[in-house]
């Protein structure tokens, strides 16, 4: 079992790795790669601006984290009750670009529809982008992790492709926390998502093959997609961490400089690699530039307490 200081570094790596990548992608989310280059230069956007803030990706990850804090020790149905409550409260937070699916599901919850019925048949990436924290908390209970990722995702997104992507998103953080290199995540990810969505399986295999091809990043990434759908979001993020498994900054810069959902691809990739490499891999200048960093820091110790409680280590 890992020592607590290392675990704290990896949790901070996940939280800040997600949020900094999200913030780097925020200014370019709706731009084509050509427009990004016109605005930021041939290499695209490379650094966080001062006072940079995240989008709904990190905001919703924190919603899920608060649900964990309020009920992770409960059985899964009761935990989902807590997460549903947090999604309703989230409707009163500032709109940071939330998708129609998540917002629609949250409004249904507010109207009294149970979380088992609130989800929409959408394969967008709203469930994937928030789910990585479950991979951290349930690191030592893979079966519960898979169930929690799937059920919590379906509160908003019921499409099988979104479901498989949610499972993969959470499980990849668990693998990163285990110290598994991105290269060695491929078969476990295929295994835990087997039979859920052929579309996701093909995207994952395509990502792996392209990462090992002779194509440049700029040539390969458009072949995977733009990241608006969950299978593409995860596949793009996985491609980036396969190409640069030991370089958080390069991974995030590669992930956000695309034509597509820059902040979501970046945040998924950044969260996985931030977990694997720890907080020292996240540029200190980025952390300093991040607006809202105090919110993330305040989550660290409470989440660690829940981790040890769930793992039976307390």
Under the banding of pLDDT at 50, 70 and 90, the label for residue 314 is: very low
**pLDDT tens digits for 256-272?**
999 999 999 999 999 99
pLDDT of res. 155: 98
pLDDT of res. 66: 98
CA distance 60 to 240: 23
**pLDDT tens digits for 35-65?**
999 999 999 999 999 999 999 999 999 999 9
DSSP state of 159: S
Position 1 in a domain: no
**pLDDT tens digits for 261-308?**
999 999 999 999 999 999 999 999 999 999 999 999 999 999 999 999
Average model confidence (pLDDT) for the chain? 97
Position 31 in a domain: yes
Residue (of 87, 72, 218) closest to 148 by Cα position: 72
CA distance 98 to 157: 13
3-class SS of residue 229: strand
**Residue 2 in this model has a pLDDT that exceeds 70:** no
3-class SS of residue 124: strand
DSSP state of 282: S
CATH number of 271's domain: 1.10.4080.10
Q: Which two tokens stand for residue 33?
A: 């790669």
Position 314 in a domain: no
- Compute CA distances 100 → 57, 95, 107, 147, whole Å: 13, 11, 10, 25
CA distance 232 to 253: 17
Portion of the chain with pLDDT greater than 70, in percent: 98
Position 6 in a domain: no
Beta bridge partners of 314: none
Under the banding of pLDDT at 50, 70 and 90, the label for residue 312 is: confident
Position 4 in a domain: no
Give the total number of structural domains in the chain: 1
Position 9 in a domain: no
**pLDDT tens digits for 131-190?**
999 999 999 999 999 999 999 999 999 999 999 999 999 999 999 999 999 999 999 999
Within 10 Å of residue 42's Cβ, how many Cβ atoms?
A: 7
């Amino acid at each position: 079992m890992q020592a607590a200081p290392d675990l704290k570094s990896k949790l901070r790596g996940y939280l800040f790795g997600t949020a900094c990548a999200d913030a780097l992608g925020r200014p370019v989310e709706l731009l084509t790669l050509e427009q990004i280059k016109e605005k930021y230069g041939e290499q695209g956007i490379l650094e966080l601006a001062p006072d940079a803030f995240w989008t709904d990706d990190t905001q919703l990850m924190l919603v899920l984290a608060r649900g964990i804090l309020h009920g992770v020790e409960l059985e899964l149905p009761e935990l989902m009750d807590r997460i549903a409550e947090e999604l309703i409260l989230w409707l009163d937070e500032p709109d940071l670009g939330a998708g129609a699916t998540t917002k629609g599901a949250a409004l249904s919850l507010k109207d009294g529809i149970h979380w088992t019925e609130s989800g929409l048949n959408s394969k967008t990436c709203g469930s994937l982008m928030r789910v990585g924290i479950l991979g951290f908390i349930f690191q030592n209970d893979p079966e519960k992790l898979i169930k929690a990722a799937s059920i919590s995702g379906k509160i908003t997104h019921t499409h099988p492709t979104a479901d498989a992507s949610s499972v993969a998103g959470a499980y990849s953080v668990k693998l990163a926390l285990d110290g598994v290199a991105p290269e060695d995540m491929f078969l476990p990810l295929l295994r835990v998502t087997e039979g859920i969505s052929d579309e996701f399986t093909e995207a994952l295999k395509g990502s792996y093959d392209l990462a090992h091809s002779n194509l440049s990043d700029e040539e390969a990434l458009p072949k995977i997609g733009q990241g608006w759908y969950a299978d593409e979001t995860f596949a793009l993020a996985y491609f980036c961490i396969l190409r640069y498994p030991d370089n958080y900054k390069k991974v995030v810069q590669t992930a956000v400089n695309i034509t597509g959902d820059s902040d979501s691809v970046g945040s998924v990739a950044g969260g996985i690699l931030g977990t694997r490499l720890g907080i020292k891999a996240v540029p200190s200048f980025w952390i300093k530039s991040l607006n809202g960093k105090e919110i993330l820091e305040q989550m660290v110790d409470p989440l660690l307490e829940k981790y040890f409680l769930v793992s039976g280590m307390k």
